[in-house]
């Protein structure tokens, strides 16, 4: 399998605090790859490195054959940040139009994509409301729609289902699996283990390092664990 992302010997400090240390990771093309770990483990910093928002102190990140940061890559990357970066004084539709137009979408294609993504996240009835009136869950759904709007080859989603009700979360996951079937690569962060189990491949992140990586079934077999919580505990102890 060819790779979409390759991270080699990556480390990052903020002041005297080392937030990532010696990360080596490969994400195959057409995979859902989960970065799993508690808050503060380094997951968000790692996805920012992949997108090119931040630069490592040491090591390299290559995405679709190009070293990041690289502005030309952004056309093929959809990024959903952990914090919603929306314009509250605009409506949901105006936010979608604005961000989609940054990627060159216009005319019939723009209308088609907005209709598709707003239906996917179940916001089509709220598109004409100002985002200031949206609930936290609605804002997360709009952020996901924006990340999908330009039909990117690579989706990078930081805690995409936080604040979303269970029924819609299931719908979102069905769509992510469909996108993967279409050949898209998806990298997401989560601390929810039942979501981690749906990923093809996962990496367990703690204290800025990778404890272990592999498919959920491979890791359960390796650590003799019944579930991913057990894998995380065993990997943290260094046991097998």
Give pTM, 2 decimals: 0.90
Instruction: Starting at the earlier edge strand, list the strands of the sheet with 77-80.
Output: 77-80, 154-158, 185-190, 32-36, 201-206, 209-214
Q: How would you write the pLDDT of the chain (240 residues) with one tens digit per residue? A: 588 999 999 999 999 999 999 999 999 999 999 999 888 899 999 999 999 999 999 999 999 999 998 988 989 999 999 888 899 999 999 999 999 999 999 999 999 999 999 998 889 999 999 999 998 889 988 998 999 999 999 999 998 888 788 887 888 888 888 889 989 999 999 888 888 999 999 999 999 999 999 999 999 999 999 999 999 999 988 654
- In the chain, what are the domain boundaries? 3-237
Q: What is the CATH number of domain 3-237?
A: 3.40.50.300
């Amino acid at each position: 399998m060819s790779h979409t992302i390759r991270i080699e010997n990556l480390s990052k400090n903020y002041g005297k605090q080392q937030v990532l240390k010696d990360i080596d990771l490969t994400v195959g093309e057409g995979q859902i790859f989960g970065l799993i770990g508690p808050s503060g483990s380094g997951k968000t910093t790692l996805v920012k490195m992949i997108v090119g928002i931040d630069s490592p102190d040491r090591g390299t990140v290559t995405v679709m054959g190009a070293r990041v940061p690289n502005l030309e890559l952004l056309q093929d990357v959809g990024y959903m940040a952990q914090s919603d970066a929306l314009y509250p004084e605009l409506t949901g539709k105006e936010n979608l139009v604005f961000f989609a137009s940054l990627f060159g979408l216009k005319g019939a294609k723009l209308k088609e994509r907005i209709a598709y993504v707003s239906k996917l996240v179940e916001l089509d009835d709220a598109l004409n409301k100002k985002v200031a009136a949206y609930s936290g869950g609605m804002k997360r759904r709009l952020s996901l729609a924006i990340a999908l709007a330009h039909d990117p080859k690579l989706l990078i989603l930081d805690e995409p289902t936080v604040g979303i009700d269970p029924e819609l979360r299931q719908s979102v996951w069905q769509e992510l699996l469909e996108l993967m079937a279409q050949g898209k690569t998806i990298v997401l962060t989560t601390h929810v283990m039942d979501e981690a189990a749906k990923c093809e491949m996962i990496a367990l992140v703690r204290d800025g390092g990778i404890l272990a990586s592999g498919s959920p079934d491979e890791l359960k077999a390796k650590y003799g664990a019944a579930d991913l919580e057990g894998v995380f505990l065993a990997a943290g102890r260094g046991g097998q």
